[in-house]
Amino acid sequence: MSFDVLQSKIKAKRNPTVAGLDARVEYIPPFILKKHTGKHGETLEAAARAVLEFDCGLIDALADVVPAVKPQSAYFEMLGWQGMKALEEVIAYAKEKDLFVIADIKRGDIGTTAAAYSEAWLGVTQVGSTACPVFDADCVTLNGYMGSDAINPFLKDCTSRDKCAFVLAKTSNPSSVELQDIVAGDRLVYTAMGDLIQRLGQGTAGKCGYQALGAVVGATHPSVLKELRYRLDKVFFLVPGYGAQGGTAADVRFAFDELGRGAIVNASRSIMCAWQKTGKDGADYQEAARTAAEKMRDEIKEYVTIL
């Protein structure tokens, strides 16, 4: 299963973190943006090309530090078809650098629509007799709050193509309590979702013991991380909310099992925008991102030992 691949990359680099690629135009160093607006004007084409250069530069700087990257599709979608082309190229470049790619798409539809999303991001599109891979990510994020109909089409591609998916369980945003913390019978809603994720993933565990369906559990809820790690012993966790959203290494340690496995922690702005704090106007964006990623890795190492 694909979580075996992710865990092996984490172990090789002794680093259970993923760098988010959430590039808004204002996150891009001015010299990169200016180069492309000079050629293409203040257009979506210029912005998309600048994002592509920025993200590929970040990948170059981080490829031997982090095991994975997580491009967020929204930031590419806002640049139209040019942005989606850039996203396709960013994913391909990351895979060329042997990074695990988590496409942060948070899809949550059902039926044939869900199947189409899955074919686009994890599977293939059939054109006559030819099966054409599209974005070909290793993993996606999903919103499963429409129930198993929103998850099963992706699970089918996960099991047949050695892919995996993270399903939202308890998210890091403050308003998650409005719905996810409501009592549902003898459980809270986020607990019921966690149980559903583990139940649907039964029979898909790989060598590392984790199923093809993982769960998103925010770093800003350490007590929930501890609770769900104990309850969902076969579920790999994606832990957002580190850094800019307030999650710390002390918080995320509860996401890992006794072998230091079973979780990967995300940081986006604190790595991508590290150059904004150095006073060099972005000329050192790669060095700044690498330093921030190494700092995050070393902070987590103080609490988590990967065996």
pLDDT digits (tens, 9 = 90+) for 164-202: 999 999 998 889 999 999 999 999 999 999 999 999 999
Please indicate whether residue 97 is annotated as part of the active site: no
120 to each of 149, 238, 291, how far by Cα in Å? 17, 22, 34
The whole-chain average pLDDT of the chain stands at 96
Does position 245 have pLDDT exceeding 90, yes or no?
A: no
**pLDDT of res. 1:** 58
Q: Which of 13, 85, 95, 106 is flagged as catalytic?
A: 106
Does position 12 have pLDDT exceeding 80, yes or no?
A: yes
pLDDT digits (tens, 9 = 90+) for 24-67: 999 999 999 999 999 999 999 999 999 999 999 999 999 999 99
Does position 94 have pLDDT exceeding 70, yes or no?
A: yes
| pTM (two decimals) | 0.96
Length of the chain: 307
Backbone region of residue 72 per phi and psi (left: phi > 0; alpha: psi in -120 to 50; beta: other values):
beta
**pLDDT of res. 230:** 96
pLDDT digits (tens, 9 = 90+) for 208-241: 999 999 999 998 889 999 999 999 999 999 999 8
Distance CA 52, CA 93 (A): 10
**pLDDT of res. 232:** 97
**pLDDT of res. 95:** 98
Contact 15, 66 (CB under 8 A): yes
Query: If you average pLDDT over residues 88-108, what whole number do you get?
Result: 98
